[in-house]
């Protein structure tokens, strides 16, 4: 028996990294998984990787839906596909997001709008449009970050978006409690993902960036997507049935020491 047997889950931003690892873990635990991503080719490859890992045989299917969470029309299409299955949603992981380094004096309106548009606006309207589909007792997990509570030079816009996500978790947990819906945030520390490597100015500088980040973690290394996925699974499953409005740090101690 898997921890999510018979449940339906939606993971946004699941082309790679933490999103893909979580979608794969949800499927392995018995969930029917819908996953979204902006790049269709990568999304198709993500779906195939779950099928090849045995996910589809465990749950009876996995569905990929191309979409950008900052586009309300795309969100409508995603929710329509979920609704068509007729089982509602038991788990929603709003993982889609991203950011980049930019010093205060160089921040542009475009940088601000893009980062807030995906991380904050995208998260808000993903959850809002999923509300009619969320079953009683559903679990919503929002992708936060250790950046929300720690000042990082040239990363202020991203950090501000994740602080907003932390606030959303508290407010929505209170607002949806009468439906038995739990809302929590997961706060990963530095994790070995394509997104983290993409923060480097050039691909050749990525190894040095990752090494520097690993040195800031008490455990002395970066996290892996599978480790973050395990923490998300805990929040998504009945193992965390008395936890809501919280922030779970999976950061190797980076923000705790």
How far, in Å, CA of 147 to CA of 158, rounded? 7
Helix (H, G, I), strand (E, B) or coil at 89: strand
Candidates 158, 168, 234, 249; catalytic one: 158
How far, in Å, CA of 65 to CA of 39, rounded? 10
Give Cβ neighbours of residue 4 (< 8 Å, ≥ 6 apart). 26, 29, 30, 31, 90, 91, 233, 236, 237
Token digits for 187? 């706060």
Given a contact cutoff of 8 angstroms between Cβ atoms, the answer to whether 190 and 196 are in contact is yes
Token digits for 32? 């029917």
| Helix runs in 86-224, H state only | 109-116, 122-130, 156-176, 194-197, 206-215
**158 catalytic residue (yes or no):** yes
Helix (H, G, I), strand (E, B) or coil at 21: helix
226 φ, ψ to 5°? Answer: -65, -35
Given a contact cutoff of 8 angstroms between Cβ atoms, the answer to whether 110 and 207 are in contact is no
> Around Cβ 1, how many Cβ atoms within 10 Å?
7
How far, in Å, CA of 199 to CA of 213, rounded? 11
What helix, strand, coil percent values describe the chain, rounded to 5?
50, 15, 30
Q: H or E segment at 231?
A: helix 225-236
The catalytic residues are 158
């Amino acid at each position: 028996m898997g921890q999510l047997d018979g449940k339906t889950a939606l993971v946004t931003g699941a082309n790679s990294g933490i999103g893909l690892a979580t979608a794969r873990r949800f499927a392995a635990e018995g969930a029917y998984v819908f996953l979204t991503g902006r790049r269709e080719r990568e999304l198709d490859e993500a779906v195939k990787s779950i099928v090849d890992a045995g996910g589809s045989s465990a749950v009876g299917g996995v569905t990929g839906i191309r979409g950008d969470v900052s586009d309300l029309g795309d969100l409508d299409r995603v929710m329509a596909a979920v609704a068509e299955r007729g089982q509602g949603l038991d788990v929603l992981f709003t993982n889609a997001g991203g950011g980049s380094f930019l010093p205060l004096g160089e921040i542009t309106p475009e940088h601000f709008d893009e980062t807030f548009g995906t991380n904050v606006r995208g998260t808000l309207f993903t959850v809002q449009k999923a509300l009619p589909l969320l079953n009683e007792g559903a679990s919503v997990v929002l992708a936060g970050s250790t950046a929300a509570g720690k000042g990082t030079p040239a990363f202020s816009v991203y950090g501000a978006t994740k602080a907003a996500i932390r606030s959303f978790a508290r407010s929505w947990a209170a607002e949806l409690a009468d439906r038995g819906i739990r809302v929590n945030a997961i706060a990963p520390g530095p994790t070995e993902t394509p997104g983290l490597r993409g923060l480097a100015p050039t691909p050749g500088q990525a190894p040095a960036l990752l090494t520097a980040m690993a040195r800031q973690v008490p455990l002395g290394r970066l996290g892996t997507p599978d480790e973050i996925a395990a923490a998300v699974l805990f929040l998504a499953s009945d193992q965390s049935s008395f936890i809501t409005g919280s922030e779970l740090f999976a950061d190797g101690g980076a923000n705790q020491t």
